[in-house]
């Protein structure tokens, strides 16, 4: 199972983003394929916060449009939404200590821990900060096509 990070969701949603066409096709393929795919809950929240933010976009996505997009992804019959469950914190704790995570880096650590906790084979992301977590396989499918 692959998981999709926030940045790819934002690119897929926003036609004004440089990587929009490619990201939209990748996310659509995930949603329409028969293979399981995942979005960590923190990525859903971050997606909404980013695309509706007037400090980031001159014309942010209207809240109803962003919520609709999330709803479309959630209707995919093969989506898995990654959430914390008993046993998650022990893994997150070890990862935070091992990578010397501080401050805002905890957001990425949370996503990485959720992916590993749920058995994600690969996280698709354009964020190189996930390289802090050597046990998590990552790929930027915008520049490294999935196999």
Of the pLDDT bands very low, low, confident and very high (cuts 50, 70, 90), residue 28 is very high
How many residues in total does the chain contain?
Answer: 147
Burial of 86 (0-12, 13-18, 19+ CB in 10 A): exposed
pLDDT in tens, 31-73: 999 999 999 999 999 999 999 999 999 999 999 999 999 999 9
CATH assignment of 2-139?
3.40.50.1010
Residue 144 has pLDDT above 90, yes or no: no
């Amino acid at each position: 199972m692959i998981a999709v990070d926030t940045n790819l969701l934002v690119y897929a949603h926003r036609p004004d983003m440089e990587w929009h066409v490619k990201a939209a096709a990748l996310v659509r393929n995930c949603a329409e394929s028969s293979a399981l795919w995942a979005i960590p809950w923190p990525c859903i929240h971050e997606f909404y916060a980013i695309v509706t933010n007037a400090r980031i976009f001159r014309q942010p996505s209207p809240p109803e449009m962003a919520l609709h997009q999330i709803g479309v992804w959630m209707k995919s019959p093969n989506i898995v939404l990654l959430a914390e469950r008993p046993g998650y914190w022990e893994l997150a704790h070890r990862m935070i200590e091992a990578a010397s995570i501080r401050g805002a880096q905890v957001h990425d650590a949370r996503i990485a821990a959720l992916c590993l906790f749920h058995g994600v084979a690969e996280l698709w992301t354009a964020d190189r900060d996930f390289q802090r977590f050597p046990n998590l396989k990552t790929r930027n499918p915008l520049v490294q096509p999935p196999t």
